[in-house]
A and B are shown apart, each in its own frame.
Chain A
Amino acid sequence: MTRCFHCHEPVPEGIDITVEIAGEPRAMCCQGCAAVAGLISTSGLAQFYKLRTEPADKPDENSRRWDVFDREQIRDAVTDPLPDGSRELLCAVPNVKCAACSWLIESVLGDLPGVVELSVNPATARLRAVYRDPLALSEFLARLDSLGYRPQPLTPDAVLSAQRAERSSALRRIVVAGLGMMQVMMYAIALYAGYFEGMDNATRDFFRLFSAIVATPVVWYAGWPFFAGAWRGLRTLRPGMDLPVSLAIGGAYLASAWNTFTGGREVYFDSAVMFIFFLSLARWVEMRLRHQAFELGYAAGEELPQHALRWTGERWEPVALAELTPGDRIRVAAGETVPADGVLLAAAAQVDESLLTGESRPVPKHHGDELIAGSLLLDETIELELVRTGRDTLLSSIRRLLERARATRPRQLAAADRLAGFLVIGILVVAGATAVFWSQVAPERAFEIALAVLVITCPCALSLATPSALSAATTALLRRGILVVNTSALETLARVSRVFLDKTGTLTTGEMSVFRCDLEPGTDIDETEAHAIAAALERGFSHPIAAAFRPFDDQRETGRVRNEPGQGIEGTVDGTKWRLGRAGFACWQASQSMIDDAQGIVVLANEQGPVARFEFTETPRADADQTLRALDVPVTLLSGDAPEPVNALARQLGIDEAFDRQSPADKLLRVRKAQDEGGTVAMVGDGSNDAPVLAGADVSIALGKGSAMAGRQADVLLLGERLGAVAEAIDTARQTRRVVRQNLTWALGYNLLAVPAAAAGLIPPWAAAIGMSLSSLFVVLNSLRLSRRSQEDATASTSTRFAEAT
């Protein structure tokens, strides 16, 4: 069988399309591929087929209408006007696969009149274009589409852009500092050699002059953030660690410059640039950690499509994202991002919610399930009925919670900051005193020693210790779908001594399963038979009890099934008439109703009388058992339900303490009691009717999705459906506490040990610079271990996914 030259898919039977490429006729599988290949070939770009390393995607046959992007509202949402009247477009092109794709796009689209700048980054699959009139945005996108690429214009997010700008400027400063440091060290080695071996003054001055030339941009460009920070601290009268740092850098630089031009004794350019480089490096790592903590939710927001196809009653009409309202019916194509929260109208769909929940596995959705904005549709085109749009979507709620988390400073940080503030003042005093002392004893060494004290005692490590660990932990947790709303909660979570769990919606999914089947004495039917009959009767229904019987269905024949709402159902199975429902309904003659007509019990009966009664229980979450075993703190089950199902579930999962028929007030009382006994209590609930208990516990963890989440006042939100996240959160919190303690011990111990040594004149400035920066680096890298661990887990899950795919 021949394969399509363009997309490498088999050419279907009876299709005979060929396109001449580089003088050779090539088989195509469809008109779409032929059109794209023809366009590539006639543009003289057939080289693409030689360069590419991956087959091209089959072009979308029902090519989308790009005209909608010429509407001002949508155009303004996806492009930014530049001062010279042109506009900048940023878009994701998910199916750009290799350098040949970006070459093809740049070659074809770069020649369009009106395109000013165009670059495609194959590594990130991002396209950036600057265009001006007469080119319309729709024309540009349609052209891209005609090449077989599906552009997805991005709305640049202010927060993310700011982070990116901060990152690239920090990166530039680090590289300037690093390269400068290498040069200055080289000159310093020559100078030290000259110091011992003898060097004539002209050569020495020559090296010093070049050291000064290289050090100047390093100090003033790469070191600028320190000066700016010190100035901010002074103006607000809250001196931070930037003050001693910039005093040290500035002092070393100015003294060295002075000595260079007056032929003085010593220069310290090497110490100054080294200090700047290592310190910037430590801060870079800390900044990356801080940024990553916010990227997940925000990145999903950036990829929301700016338009959608809405059903007007007779046709599909493109509208802007902002125009969507709840109740609208919209259509989303495969590979597109869902623009707003909505209920699935199609039978089934697969979505990727990894941007929101960190869960990288595709999530299957069924008719009636909710799809959340920001999730990526994997298979075919579906229709949705919107339930929440714009600011009300789950995605927006998550972002608001992230904002809130960022705006509030955790308790631990405030304490560390106050401590660092005192230390800064202490250091300045110690350095001043050292300078005064040594100027009496050995005036020529006074400056050098004061400089060493200033550098070595800088409390940088101390002020990085806590925040770097907290950001690393929040990032690690967010990657696993755990959103820490209140960062202080991490500290409390590490101390938790008892976990209270709600039942429905927390330990269980809310789905039912058959818990017990009692056969009526004297019937000739066995349990399997009873289950199968019930399953056959319930086949056409979708309520939870019907779903509970579904696994027992062995496809036996049924006659017409009649539904008596609220009572039960009646129908014939294998020629016998059966009723299934509440006891009062199922037993034809009231006298036969020997059984308690209780809720949650369903009776199967035929005309002779009752045959079996079924009891139901909620299905525990798939990972409930595993989670409870992983938790090494005592667990209490609190439920509003009747004793039987609660105790059964507790037995099934091995929970030692369970309370039934608990009202919210009772639950709160239990929590209070545990607290009075000196325990730290974590409450895990679905939040819908647990609000007071959640608020009363030391740490609250809310589970589940949907609109209710926005209003919840939980400290920790679990975005996925995994209960295991509770154990992971506690585990990570404990590790975080350990890392913070290690960091603080190290930082304080180092400072306390180094001060006397430096004040005694035992440490030269360059050694002080190395010691202090290594201490900061040590602290930050130690924190980094927290996020590394989650990446290892991610690697593991990705490799299993990979293994499944192949």
Chain B
Amino acid sequence: MSILLVMIPLSIALLATAVGIFFWAVRRGQFDDLETPAWRVVLDDDSRPPQTIDGGEDR
């Protein structure tokens, strides 16, 4: 059981790292906008001029 003496403190260290990374991500604004990125996939072709959507090399 003495392996616990290593594993549990190790898990706590990992936990602390995870929390630290998360705090950093929040500070960098990664979670500021949770909606736009999802829409971006659907919407970005809208803003392009039509010729780049259906245009071939021969035009």
- A1-B59, A203-B1, A206-B4 are contacts. A798–B26 as well, Cβ < 8 Å? no
Q: How far is the CB of A147 from chain B (nearest CB, A)?
A: 18
Residues 5-56 of B contacting A (Cβ, < 8 Å): 5, 8-9, 11-12, 15, 18-19, 22-23, 26-33, 36-37, 39-40, 42-46, 49-53
Contact segment of A172-180, A418-426, A536-544, A750-758: A172-180
Contact of A176 among B11, B19, B28 (CB under 8 A): B19
Residue of B nearest to A203 (CB): B1
A-B Cβ contacts below 8 A, count: 78
Residue of B nearest to A123 (CB): B37
Report the Cα distance A596→B22, complex, angstroms: 80
Report the Cα distance A33→B54, complex, angstroms: 23
Report the Cα distance A3→B50, complex, angstroms: 15
- Contact B43–A802 (Cβ < 8 Å): yes
Q: How far is the CB of B23 from chain A (nearest CB, A)?
A: 6
- Contact A806–B53 (Cβ < 8 Å): yes
Contact of A171 among B8, B26, B39 (CB under 8 A): B26
**Interfacial chain A residues near B43, Cβ < 8 Å:** 798, 802
Q: How far is the CB of B33 from chain A (nearest CB, A)?
A: 5
SS of A interface (majority): helix
Contact of A10 among B23, B45, B59 (CB under 8 A): B59
- A119-B28, A172-B23 are contacts. A179–B36 as well, Cβ < 8 Å? no
Q: How far is the CB of A29 from chain B (nearest CB, A)?
A: 13
Residues 105-140 of A contacting B (Cβ, < 8 Å): 119, 121, 123-124, 126, 128
A168 in the interface (beta carbon within 8 A): yes
Report the Cα distance A123→B25, complex, angstroms: 14
Q: How far is the CB of A711 from chain B (nearest CB, A)?
A: 34
Contact of A124 among B5, B8, B29, B53 (CB under 8 A): B29
Report the Cα distance A203→B1, complex, angstroms: 8
Residues 1-48 of A contacting B (Cβ, < 8 Å): 1, 3, 8-10
**Interfacial chain B residues near A806, Cβ < 8 Å:** 45, 53
- Contact A124–B32 (Cβ < 8 Å): yes
Best-buried of A123, A164, A179, A180 by chain B (most CB within 10 Å) = A123
Report the Cα distance A167→B46, complex, angstroms: 31
Residues 138-169 of A contacting B (Cβ, < 8 Å): 164, 167-168
A257 in the interface (beta carbon within 8 A): no
- Contact B52–A183 (Cβ < 8 Å): no
Report the Cα distance A214→B13, complex, angstroms: 11
- Contact B12–A203 (Cβ < 8 Å): no
Report the Cα distance A167→B34, complex, angstroms: 12
**Interfacial chain B residues near A55, Cβ < 8 Å:** 52
Residues 752-780 of A contacting B (Cβ, < 8 Å): none
Contact with B along A40-61 (1 / 0, CB 8 A): 0000000000000011000000
- Contact A805–B46 (Cβ < 8 Å): yes
Residue of A nearest to B31 (CB): A171
- Contact B1–A210 (Cβ < 8 Å): no
A801 in the interface (beta carbon within 8 A): yes
Report the Cα distance A119→B18, complex, angstroms: 23
- Contact B18–A179 (Cβ < 8 Å): yes
A97 in the interface (beta carbon within 8 A): yes
A213 in the interface (beta carbon within 8 A): yes
Residue of B nearest to A199 (CB): B1
**Interfacial chain A residues near B18, Cβ < 8 Å:** 179
**Interfacial chain B residues near A168, Cβ < 8 Å:** 26-27, 31-32
Report the Cα distance A800→B22, complex, angstroms: 38
Report the Cα distance A168→B29, complex, angstroms: 9
- A54-B44, A213-B12 are contacts. A126–B53 as well, Cβ < 8 Å? no
- Contact B33–A183 (Cβ < 8 Å): no
**Interfacial chain B residues near A213, Cβ < 8 Å:** 12
**Interfacial chain B residues near A9, Cβ < 8 Å:** 49, 51-52
Report the Cα distance A799→B46, complex, angstroms: 11
Report the Cα distance A745→B33, complex, angstroms: 34
Report the Cα distance A179→B22, complex, angstroms: 11
- Contact B4–A124 (Cβ < 8 Å): no
Q: How far is the CB of A120 from chain B (nearest CB, A)?
A: 11
- A171-B31, A806-B45 are contacts. A8–B26 as well, Cβ < 8 Å? no
**Interfacial chain B residues near A801, Cβ < 8 Å:** 46
Q: How far is the CB of B39 from chain A (nearest CB, A)?
A: 8
Q: How far is the CB of A488 from chain B (nearest CB, A)?
A: 29
Q: How far is the CB of B57 from chain A (nearest CB, A)?
A: 8
- A805-B45, A806-B53 are contacts. A124–B19 as well, Cβ < 8 Å? no
**Interfacial chain A residues near B53, Cβ < 8 Å:** 805-806
**Interfacial chain A residues near B4, Cβ < 8 Å:** 203, 206
Contact with B along A185-215 (1 / 0, CB 8 A): 0010000000000000001001000100110
**Interfacial chain A residues near B1, Cβ < 8 Å:** 203
**Interfacial chain B residues near A175, Cβ < 8 Å:** 19, 22
**Interfacial chain B residues near A1, Cβ < 8 Å:** 57-59
**Interfacial chain B residues near A171, Cβ < 8 Å:** 26, 31
- Contact B45–A214 (Cβ < 8 Å): no
Residue of A nearest to B26 (CB): A168
Contact of B11 among A121, A126, A183, A802 (CB under 8 A): A183
Residue of A nearest to B44 (CB): A97
Report the Cα distance A10→B49, complex, angstroms: 12
Q: How far is the CB of A61 from chain B (nearest CB, A)?
A: 16
Report the Cα distance A183→B45, complex, angstroms: 44
**Interfacial chain A residues near B15, Cβ < 8 Å:** 179-180, 183, 214
Residue of B nearest to A58 (CB): B49
**Interfacial chain B residues near A172, Cβ < 8 Å:** 22-23, 26
Contact with B along A793-804 (1 / 0, CB 8 A): 000001101100
- Contact B19–A183 (Cβ < 8 Å): no
Residue of A nearest to B28 (CB): A119
Report the Cα distance A183→B14, complex, angstroms: 11
Residue of A nearest to B4 (CB): A206
Q: How far is the CB of A58 from chain B (nearest CB, A)?
A: 9
- Contact A124–B46 (Cβ < 8 Å): no
Report the Cα distance A168→B23, complex, angstroms: 9
Residue of A nearest to B27 (CB): A168
**Interfacial chain B residues near A126, Cβ < 8 Å:** 29
Residue of A nearest to B52 (CB): A8
Q: How far is the CB of B41 from chain A (nearest CB, A)?
A: 11
Q: How far is the CB of B45 from chain A (nearest CB, A)?
A: 7
Residue of B nearest to A804 (CB): B46
Report the Cα distance A72→B58, complex, angstroms: 52
Report the Cα distance A179→B58, complex, angstroms: 57
Closest 6 CB pairs of A and B: A123-B37, A124-B33, A168-B26, A805-B46, A175-B22, A210-B8
Given contacts A10-B51, A128-B29, A206-B8, 18 further A-B contacts (CB under 8 A): A8-B52, A119-B28, A123-B33, A124-B32, A164-B32, A175-B19, A175-B22, A179-B15, A180-B15, A183-B11, A203-B1, A203-B4, A206-B4, A210-B12, A798-B43, A802-B45, A805-B45, A805-B46
Q: Please list 6 pairs of residues, one from A and one from B, whose beta carbons are closer than 8 Å in the complex, sorted by A's number.
A: A3-B57, A168-B31, A171-B31, A176-B19, A210-B12, A802-B46
